[in-house]
Amino acid sequence: MSQRTKTAVHPVSSQAATDQPNRKKVIHIVYLIAALDITWMFLQFSVTPYLAKKLGFDTLWFGYLQTTVGVIQLLGGPMFGRFADLFGARIALSLSCSSTVVFFLLLAIADHPAMLFIHKIPTVFMHVLPASQMVVADLSEPEKRADALSKLGLCFGVGMIAGSTLGGHLNTRYGETFTACCGAAGSVVSLLLVLKFIPKNTKSARASTDSENKNKSVFSVGEITRLMKFPGVTPTFLVKIVAGLPSGIFQVMFSIIALEFFNLQPEQNGYLMAYFGIVQMVIQGAVIGRLTGRYSETSLLLLSIGISSLVGLAQAYMQNVFQFCFIAIPMMFSLSLFNVITDSILTNSVPSSDTGTMLGLCASVQSLLRTVGPTVGGFLYVNYGISSIGLIQFVVNVAVFVYLLQRQLTKTVQQKT
């Protein structure tokens, strides 16, 4: 995990975006598409829980519904990433946006518990954010990739605030069906932006040739796992899973923590989510980009894991929501920095013809957390309380920090000798 991995990274160029102004224009459009997609996602969050309650779902069955989404996206993420590498950015993003339209239309007509499960099926192709990351990775210089990817986190903050506010307003005034239809209409707008502005292929000429010479099967497990053999990929990927799991459990359990531990009302929870969005916007827009320009990726990875361990310790001893609001600032910083740096290291470690597949694998880590998180987090919370989740995060991240530091010191000694 060196500062700038040199393995098989090709210069950035594209048949459809050959000069710097055009590349910047495409990247800015991608940021807009990502912000809109996050908006529709958070708008959906204001529909599904209430509709599930109306259809007779209890907490257990709602957990099954969330786990279903995690499993579907866990399976679909790597396949979708490979699909994007083989067939190009425009087709991949078009498929994602079209799937989102179908997703919302099925939600709008859901009038039976089974329909709530059926409407989740299109999520196997709903990977707008990884596809957006692929385009940004393809069109940005390797040394500026972390900064460019961090701006997508800024889009996430914008979408979180806009989607939560808009969804709550529409659902309160017009109901779940109308809100779901608005989500479908918004996804159509995203699709039109993709068709109008995103080039057919965003990879370099050499990367495109490499893609043409590869196995064309989207379902080739060997082609997907092949990426793990590149230098530094497997250790970084394992760090992404191990260090990310405890914080992921806390995120999955947060709705229960807000309801039972903090005793927040829906309106207060909405304000808290808006606060998260503002904090993330500031961190992604004003902080991470500057850090990635000044410090090595290895140092920033150590920083994010070290802060995450301290956040876990603080979470173990927090007593109220006001304390959590202070803890949320370093929490959001460490999470954002960790995700940006690991994604940057992994995409820089593989050929540019495989960045989509690698980002699909990165997205599958989040799906894995959503799959196992409710079960593990529920067990810890019910049996040992919220402090157990924080303490596990502290211990795990300290262990990972020591491992990475020892690995870096060993590498430094070897270079000197």
Task: Read off the pLDDT band of 203 (50, 70, 90).
Answer: confident
Distance CA(255)–CA(244), nearest Å, equals 19
Per-residue pLDDT of 314-356, as tens digits, reads: 999 999 889 999 999 999 999 989 988 998 888 888 887 787 7
Per-residue pLDDT of 94-142, as tens digits, reads: 999 999 999 999 999 988 888 989 989 998 889 888 888 888 888 888 7
- Residue 352, token pair as written in the block: 């540019």
Burial 178-192 (b: 16+ CB within 10 A, else e): ebbbbbbebbeebbe
Strands (E), 281-371: none
Nearest to 354 by CA among 50, 63, 84, 140: 84
Place of tokens 């150590």: 302
Per-residue pLDDT of 111-124, as tens digits, reads: 888 898 998 999 88
* CA dihedral sign of residues 360, 361, 362, 367: positive
- Residue 54, token pair as written in the block: 């109306």
Per-residue pLDDT of 51-83, as tens digits, reads: 887 888 776 677 678 778 888 888 888 888 888
Please tell me whether residue 320 adopts helix, strand or coil conformation: coil
For residue 33, the one-letter residue type is: I
pLDDT at 396 over 90: yes
CB 159, CB 39: distance < 8 Å = yes
Crossing angle, helix 386-416 and helix 355-384, to 10 degrees? 140
pLDDT of the residue at 99? 94
Burial 234-244 (b: 16+ CB within 10 A, else e): eebbebbeebb
Nearest to 160 by CA among 334, 266, 36, 38: 38
Q: Rounded mean pLDDT of 241-263?
A: 82
Distance CA(408)–CA(127), nearest Å, equals 34
Task: Read off the pLDDT band of 4 (50, 70, 90).
Answer: very low
Q: Rounded mean pLDDT of 269-294?
A: 82
Please tell me whether residue 327 adopts helix, strand or coil conformation: helix
Q: Domains plus CATH for the chain? A: 20-416 (1.20.1250.20)
Nearest to 130 by CA among 34, 25, 228: 34
pLDDT at 357 over 50: yes
